[in-house]
Structure 1
Amino acid sequence: MGRFYDEDIKKSPRIDRLISHLYAKMPVIEADRAVLLTESYRETEGEPVILRRAKAFLKICRKLPITIRPEELIVGSNSIAPRGCQVFPEYSWEWLEKEFDTVEKRSADPFYISDETKRRLREVLPYWKGRTTSELATSYMAPETLTAMKHNIFTPGNYFYNGIGHFTVKYEEVLEIGFAGIRDRAAAQLAECGLGDPDYASRVSFLEAVILSCEAASEYGRRYSVLARELAGRETDPARRAELTRISEVCARVPEQPAASFYEACQSFWFVQMLLQTESSGHSISPGRFDQYIYPYYKADLDAGKITRESAQELLDCIWVKLNDLNKVRDKDSAEGFAGYSLFQNLIAGGQDAEGNDVTNDLSFMCIEASMHVRLPAPSLSVRVWNGTPNEFLIKAAKLTRTGVGLPAYYNDEVIIPALMSRGLTVEDARTYNIIGCVEPQKAGKTDGWHDAAFFNMCRPLELVFTGGRESGELVGVETKPISEMRSFDEFYDAYRQQMDYCISLLVNADNAIDRAHAERCPLPFQSCMIDDCIARGKSLQEGGAVYNFTGPQGFGIANVTDSLLALKKLVFEDKKLTLEEYREALRKNFGRGLGARETEDLVAQVAGGMAAAGQPVGEAEIRAICEAVRKDPVSPAEKAKYDQLLDWIDELPKYGNDVPGVDAFAREVAYLYTKPLQNYRNPRGGIFQAGLYPVSANVPLGSQTGATPDGRLANTPIADGVGPAQGRDTHGPTAACNSAARLDHMIASNGTLFNQKFHPSALSGIEGLQKFASLIRGYFDQKGMHMQFNVVSRETLLDAQAHPENYKSLVVRVAGYSALFTTLSKSLQDDIISRTTHGF
């Protein structure tokens, strides 16, 4: 390896101009893909669905408008407008039509949509009524499941309303043999099919679909070659004419043919990345170990004198900018949960090879340098850390963290490798893992992980214990013993376990219904041709074609549930300061701070029912006015004093996140209530369920749908994120919080865990601050923590950015498993980030 590690590479002026062009305007919704898709489906009625998907993809690649943006060196965009997006009605569409007139004005991730685009979409969207994956999935779900979803016990929205994402394909194979080579592999398999084979019909259809998809990708590249040649012919600037001519030559070869240079490898990679997100609207399509599969092309050209490190860095920087060009529109509620226009394209550097050798290389450092240059949310850069990681690499990563962009995230090989092996991966595959989306590990090119399959709110089953499983007069959970009959903490804890087990079974029912719907209506032949062993098995990824199949929903709220249960145990059953019924009333009245949203709705229903029974027909507006008055001042001064006393008692209790072994041991058991039952279930693709412990940013919107909890958390406020302590509850410093989080069993949460920390910028100043920071990471990882990520920004800066967003347009922060521009986030999510404890060393 060349020892260039401490040498920063100067940024090309081109990069800032590319970024300025990218962010000049609000993102735009475009209609072209939806129109072409619908046209193709109308032409292929009655054909096998996998062929319909391939023919639609071919038509889109042939006719989707293309553009080369000013000064680009890496080309390819699925929208004409910078950061624009296409529409995917085959998954869901009614929500978009309902939001045509509000999507531009909403608080989270607004998009501009023209009247002409609305008109074009209104012409084609009705075709999809009754044909979407979301409608089919709903029909497969049990009534109890739909009830639980209505009451926000969990939400499987990722794949319910969108395409399949959360995977990494075999980029290296495309670079090595091109789509011509993959097409030939499929053709060879097709030639071996026998008419008497039991799966002849489905296998032949799939392999023909793969061949069509490979041709579609090849044609798409050639279209850019033609466009670049035409633009070069009209270009008056000699330097730009030469660049366009080079682009035309590169695109004439890739992605159809093997990459023969570093430039071709970079461009071929980008075509794959972009087209995957043209075929399907799934997010978290992650580049994976980019520094490993691109490195041979970089090294060969560098050694041959064909490139310099500076010219190679400029190409990497251009890719980093392009990763921010991709976008997708979500419904209003989902946009709140994934705020920041995020696609979670995780690119990871460093780590080991299949034999266990460290493979950090020059390109690993240059990936970090690229993130320093662009300072944008994408890619979600990650680094792998183990005891063989060079210290200079960790320090380089720490320098990026110090910039405040929330990158990179850090992952522990010593936990993730054995965790994946426990799920059936070979040691070689586990050693070469990458991260998908936020924090989810998998083996690239062999896995259909269905990560992020649902968000499970562990606080909601706790609420159901207090109500015997009922909510707003409807049975939502399982009927458990009334709290008035509970005489011990063990009885209460057992009731919580019952509610958890039942709700987990409903979550599995929802995920499996959606899984089946995707296999039947939206298999993805282009994606499948780049994941083993789909071609050999003759089936798409959605039908179980991958070597490894999982479903990975994530639970969150461990800190709140831990602190809540310990508060009940101490205050009710040990000290007997109040009864469970009195605690329930305190929660219902939000500790005297005004009723929560759901409690207010219940009160409206009660008042309306009572007035109707008394023969007093009063309109809804009058009822709401009465209830609003009660909500604002729901308790007497005496009751308020009583609830203040309760909150003081709660505050005095030890909390998770402060290195209290007894509390942390209990938190480990609480996490097991989610992680252990889940792994007993299987999915339709023949794989198992594996738990994750992270919320992305859903802890904020789902917290807004959750009542007060016994730990003193008020109704409709954010729930704790990931495996860290509740906001502001970690009062003993960063090391204490690390010690607490490390006591959880990260190994069983093989779908990933998320640990956020926030530091004041002064904590990482100078080389001493960087070394202390690196030691904190190694110390946490030595205790078997899985993941760490950081915000390095002062509370004052965030508050000022919230008040004066026009002055902070480029402020990037770490949200959850991803970074985003702070000013694009909803206020509730901004408040959540501000509320996190700010540490120093």
Structure 2
Amino acid sequence: SSPLFPEIDWRYLEELINTNYLSMEEKEKLKEVVSYWRGKSFSDVASLRIPNTLKETIDVFSAGIEIPSGSSAFANVHLAHCVPGYEKILTKGLNGLINDVEETMAKLDLTKIEDIKKLNFLEAVKIALQAVPSFAKRYAELAKKLAERENDPQRKTELEKIAEICEWVPANPARTFHEALQAIWFIYIALAMEGLGPAIGFGRMDQYLYPFYKKDIEEGRLTKEHARELIAMFLIKMNELAFHFPGSHPFTIERYRSGGEYPLSTITLGGVTRDGLDATNELSYLFLDAEMDVGLLEDIAVRVHKDTPYSFLMKACEVARLLAGKIKFVSDETAIRQLIEDGKSLEDARDYAVTGCFIHTVPGRSHDPPMGGGNFPNLPLALELALNNGVHRATGKQIGPRTGDPRKFKSYDELWKAYQKQVEWLVRAHVTLTNCIMPLFYELTPYPLLSALFDGCIERSKDITEGGALYNTGSFWFVGIVNVGDSLAAVKKVIFEDKRASMDALVDALEKNFEGYEELYHLLRNAPKFGNDDDYVDSIVNDIICHLCEEVSKYVSFGGRKFTVAAANVVAHIPCGRIIGATPEGRRAGEPFSDGGISPYYGRNINGITSTLRSVTKLDLWRTCAAVLNIKFNPSDIKEEDKIESKMRKFASLIKTFAKTGGDIIQFS
């Protein structure tokens, strides 16, 4: 099944109508939907809010990214990129949350204009909370009907139990492990339909489900084997939902055409408790066992800290080995410091989970969606502008500030200052675009159900899109950080220090994509490169990250939302590379940038994996909100059974060392 979002943008549905996926009846219905939303959608309204002076810049941001049927470049910001407070549902039930809403409504003074606004919000929340149990009861009724017709006694009993569970949750607090899983799934489906669904995380399932598991085991209602089966079925359900949604995320287009985007809904395991103790429990292991049974597209993040049990880490490594690098490993030390730097309490920071691909967030308390109008700030664009006096090489347009003729630069410091000014422009442009769009979510697509599951929203009577959650940040996902670092290091070394070529020659070589400049090309390629434990270039990459964090921190968004930096790009390094010409580290025009976010560029880390980890752990990653390192192994290194236990112990030790020495997120392929 696949929910559609015409209220965000209808244009992509026109392309869907022209496919062979739909029946004629479905196509006619979609045509009616398109006709209704034409001119009324979020995207239509947003296009009118963008200043004319910024529209040309948006075209450059979106260039190289194919957008279905002209969908706007800012239709894909989805604020449901978060982890709701599932514990609320399990311990209170939706009826308990409705009581909270009614108590808050009773305290309002409707002679005050602001309280009338609050009342409207709370009434919307109440309607949304009442709707989900009604939705669940449809499943209960269907299960009852199927049970009445069922001849197999075992299956009949199963259907009757399903009906009983769906009658009870999520309206009421869960009583069993099975009910808890079902309640979570109902809420997830409802949230996916409300909030442009991808990247709604499931949070720390081994933590909030453990009391139900433990009680059922102790009282004889559940066995480990049955719990594993239920978890496996839940993981399979996670793969049932696909999303056809609008926008310009470069990694969605082919999936959009081939049946939809998978949910990117991460389950987080392990880590520490709010008191700082190891949180690993039986469920942590059972989730990994179930993942081995299923092994589909569901995302699993494993938190690693100094006291992570070796047996648990080894099991996670085994899952990663057998499922082609499936697990993402996250450093508690770095992630917790990141969250504290963002203003979270120590206890809340310890309780973080991963949402979407990599963002660290506090479930049910911190709302931390991606910003930037659905795009990824293209950092090498700032360098290209610095080396072209603000002119975009591909279009010839003056889009950045005039920072001086680069041919006249006499020192690295002059280049660095020009680059900084272009970064300031790039960040300001993305902030402006974001701040034009963010109020529209509150005006056009508020999230009353999601709001009910975050601390602060009901108490403040404020929608989550307006900054109602206890903590509110928004992240810019910067592409090409390592390419810029390698490029600046190459220019500093080859041009300004060794004086092997002039700035004139460099600018000409870049304009001509190195044709006729093979000697200079090889000099630049052989300059120091990130990922080899070389302080010369590693320090420059760190300067880049620190400068980005300083620039982004100058601004706030709608509802007082703070901006943060993610050194991560999903797969945006491919389309973002298409619009940038040759770069000084020896990359030719149109080629991709480095992947992950802080991964060395392809083939440039020649001193082995430990040198790569040393380069990465020198960076002040605690300043970011996420920083992703992708490591590629030769499959034969870890798939051959010969000496596999020894290899896996080294693998686990590598991850633990990375986690305790300043790394953030590491994943393998």
* TM category, shorter: over 0.9
Shift of 1:317: 0.3
Among 609, 617, 620, the alignment partner of 1:742 is 617
Judged with a 3 Å threshold, the aligned counterparts in structure 2 of structure 1 residues 164 and 332 are, in CA distance, closer, same or farther, namely: closer
Asked if structure 2 preserves the Cα contact closer than 8 Å seen for 1:742 and 1:783, the reply is: yes
Among 94, 98, 107, the alignment partner of 1:179 is 94
Counterpart in the other structure of 1:375: 295
Counterpart in the other structure of 1:776: 654
Q: SS of the counterpart of 2:302?
A: strand
Counterpart in the other structure of 1:723: 598
**2:500 counterpart of 1:581:** no
**2:568 counterpart of 1:732:** no
Among 528, 552, 558, the alignment partner of 1:678 is 552
Counterpart in the other structure of 2:663: 785
Counterpart in the other structure of 2:54: 145
Q: What one-letter code is carried by the residue in structure 2 that aligns with 1:790? A: F
**2:416 counterpart of 1:493:** yes
Among 463, 467, 475, the alignment partner of 1:552 is 475
Judged with a 3 Å threshold, the aligned counterparts in structure 2 of structure 1 residues 275 and 522 are, in CA distance, closer, same or farther, namely: same
CA distance in structure 2 between the aligned counterparts of 1:551 and 1:280, rounded to whole angstroms: 16
Question: Which aligned pairs between 1:402-481 and structure 2 lie closer than 5 A?
Answer: 402-451=321-370, 453=372, 454-471=375-392, 472-481=395-404
Among 177, 194, 197, the alignment partner of 2:109 is 194
Q: What one-letter code is carried by the residue in structure 2 that aligns with 1:530? A: L
| Rg larger in structure | 1
Asked if structure 1 preserves the Cα contact closer than 8 Å seen for 2:548 and 2:565, the reply is: yes
Q: Indicate the larger mover: 338-347 or 670-679.
A: 338-347
CA distance in structure 2 between the aligned counterparts of 1:99 and 1:487, rounded to whole angstroms: 55
Counterpart in the other structure of 2:307: 388
Question: Which aligned pairs between 1:157-168 and structure 2 lie closer than 5 A?
Answer: 160-161=75-76, 163-168=78-83
1:721-767: CA deviation from partner (whole Å, max 9, x where unpaired): 21110011111111111111111110100x21101101223433521
**2:249 counterpart of 1:334:** yes
Q: What one-letter code is carried by the residue in structure 2 that aligns with 1:521? A: L
Judged with a 3 Å threshold, the aligned counterparts in structure 2 of structure 1 residues 508 and 459 are, in CA distance, closer, same or farther, namely: same
Q: What one-letter code is carried by the residue in structure 2 that aligns with 1:756? A: N
CA distance in structure 1 between the aligned counterparts of 2:560 and 2:593, rounded to whole angstroms: 33
Shift of 1:207: 1.0
Asked if structure 2 preserves the Cα contact closer than 8 Å seen for 1:337 and 1:701, the reply is: no
Judged with a 3 Å threshold, the aligned counterparts in structure 2 of structure 1 residues 530 and 331 are, in CA distance, closer, same or farther, namely: closer
CA distance in structure 1 between the aligned counterparts of 2:23 and 2:52, rounded to whole angstroms: 39
Q: SS of the counterpart of 2:573?
A: coil
CA distance in structure 2 between the aligned counterparts of 1:148 and 1:673, rounded to whole angstroms: 22
Q: What one-letter code is carried by the residue in structure 2 that aligns with 1:359? A: A
Judged with a 3 Å threshold, the aligned counterparts in structure 2 of structure 1 residues 648 and 484 are, in CA distance, closer, same or farther, namely: closer
**2:524 counterpart of 1:650:** yes
Judged with a 3 Å threshold, the aligned counterparts in structure 2 of structure 1 residues 565 and 153 are, in CA distance, closer, same or farther, namely: farther
Among 142, 145, 152, the alignment partner of 1:237 is 152
Among 613, 623, 628, the alignment partner of 1:754 is 628
Q: SS of the counterpart of 1:747?
A: helix
Asked if structure 1 preserves the Cα contact closer than 8 Å seen for 2:43 and 2:72, the reply is: no
Judged with a 3 Å threshold, the aligned counterparts in structure 2 of structure 1 residues 230 and 174 are, in CA distance, closer, same or farther, namely: same
Counterpart in the other structure of 2:283: 363
Counterpart in the other structure of 2:562: 688
Shift of 1:240: 2.3
Asked if structure 2 preserves the Cα contact closer than 8 Å seen for 1:694 and 1:723, the reply is: yes
Among 258, 267, 283, the alignment partner of 1:347 is 267
1:384-430: CA deviation from partner (whole Å, max 9, x where unpaired): 11112111111111110111332211111111112211111111111
Shift of 1:708: 1.6
Q: What one-letter code is carried by the residue in structure 1 that aligns with 2:622? A: M
Among 11, 17, 21, the alignment partner of 1:100 is 17
CA distance in structure 1 between the aligned counterparts of 2:456 and 2:251, rounded to whole angstroms: 37
Judged with a 3 Å threshold, the aligned counterparts in structure 2 of structure 1 residues 531 and 157 are, in CA distance, closer, same or farther, namely: farther
Asked if structure 2 preserves the Cα contact closer than 8 Å seen for 1:757 and 1:789, the reply is: yes
Asked if structure 1 preserves the Cα contact closer than 8 Å seen for 2:302 and 2:329, the reply is: yes
Uncovered stretches (5+) of structure 2, i.e. residues with no partner:
66-70, 256-260
Q: SS of the counterpart of 1:456?
A: coil
Shift of 1:774: 1.0
Q: SS of the counterpart of 1:255?
A: coil
CA distance in structure 2 between the aligned counterparts of 1:456 and 1:122, rounded to whole angstroms: 35
Q: SS of the counterpart of 1:556?
A: coil
CA distance in structure 2 between the aligned counterparts of 1:296 and 1:708, rounded to whole angstroms: 56
Uncovered stretches (5+) of structure 1, i.e. residues with no partner:
1-83, 105-111, 593-638, 792-841
Among 669, 690, 700, the alignment partner of 2:574 is 700
CA distance in structure 2 between the aligned counterparts of 1:180 and 1:669, rounded to whole angstroms: 51
1:556-586: CA deviation from partner (whole Å, max 9, x where unpaired): 2122111111222222223333332332232
CA distance in structure 1 between the aligned counterparts of 2:551 and 2:249, rounded to whole angstroms: 27
Among 433, 450, 456, the alignment partner of 1:527 is 450
Q: What one-letter code is carried by the residue in structure 2 that aligns with 1:557? A: G
Among 513, 518, 537, the alignment partner of 1:663 is 537
Counterpart in the other structure of 2:68: none
Shift of 1:682: 0.6
Asked if structure 2 preserves the Cα contact closer than 8 Å seen for 1:262 and 1:298, the reply is: yes
Q: SS of the counterpart of 2:501?
A: coil
Counterpart in the other structure of 1:91: 8
Shift of 1:162: 5.1
1:223-242: CA deviation from partner (whole Å, max 9, x where unpaired): 10001111222233333222
Among 11, 29, 45, the alignment partner of 1:136 is 45
Q: SS of the counterpart of 2:185?
A: helix
CA distance in structure 2 between the aligned counterparts of 1:339 and 1:777, rounded to whole angstroms: 33
Judged with a 3 Å threshold, the aligned counterparts in structure 2 of structure 1 residues 541 and 242 are, in CA distance, closer, same or farther, namely: same
Shift of 1:335: 5.3
Asked if structure 2 preserves the Cα contact closer than 8 Å seen for 1:337 and 1:697, the reply is: no
Shift of 1:122: 1.1
Q: Indicate the larger mover: 700-709 or 526-535.
A: 700-709
CA distance in structure 2 between the aligned counterparts of 1:548 and 1:291, rounded to whole angstroms: 24
CA distance in structure 1 between the aligned counterparts of 2:271 and 2:530, rounded to whole angstroms: 31
CA distance in structure 1 between the aligned counterparts of 2:96 and 2:73, rounded to whole angstroms: 33
TM-score normalised per structure 2: 0.93
Asked if structure 2 preserves the Cα contact closer than 8 Å seen for 1:468 and 1:480, the reply is: yes
Shift of 1:333: 5.1
Asked if structure 2 preserves the Cα contact closer than 8 Å seen for 1:375 and 1:405, the reply is: no
Judged with a 3 Å threshold, the aligned counterparts in structure 2 of structure 1 residues 466 and 140 are, in CA distance, closer, same or farther, namely: same
Shift of 1:157: 7.7
Asked if structure 1 preserves the Cα contact closer than 8 Å seen for 2:9 and 2:42, the reply is: yes
Asked if structure 1 preserves the Cα contact closer than 8 Å seen for 2:74 and 2:247, the reply is: no
Q: What one-letter code is carried by the residue in structure 2 that aligns with 1:131? A: K
Shift of 1:667: 1.2
Shift of 1:381: 0.3
CA distance in structure 2 between the aligned counterparts of 1:415 and 1:347, rounded to whole angstroms: 19
Asked if structure 2 preserves the Cα contact closer than 8 Å seen for 1:565 and 1:710, the reply is: yes
Among 248, 251, 254, the alignment partner of 2:163 is 248
Q: SS of the counterpart of 1:116?
A: helix
Q: SS of the counterpart of 2:123?
A: helix
Q: Indicate the larger mover: 318-327 or 577-586.
A: 577-586
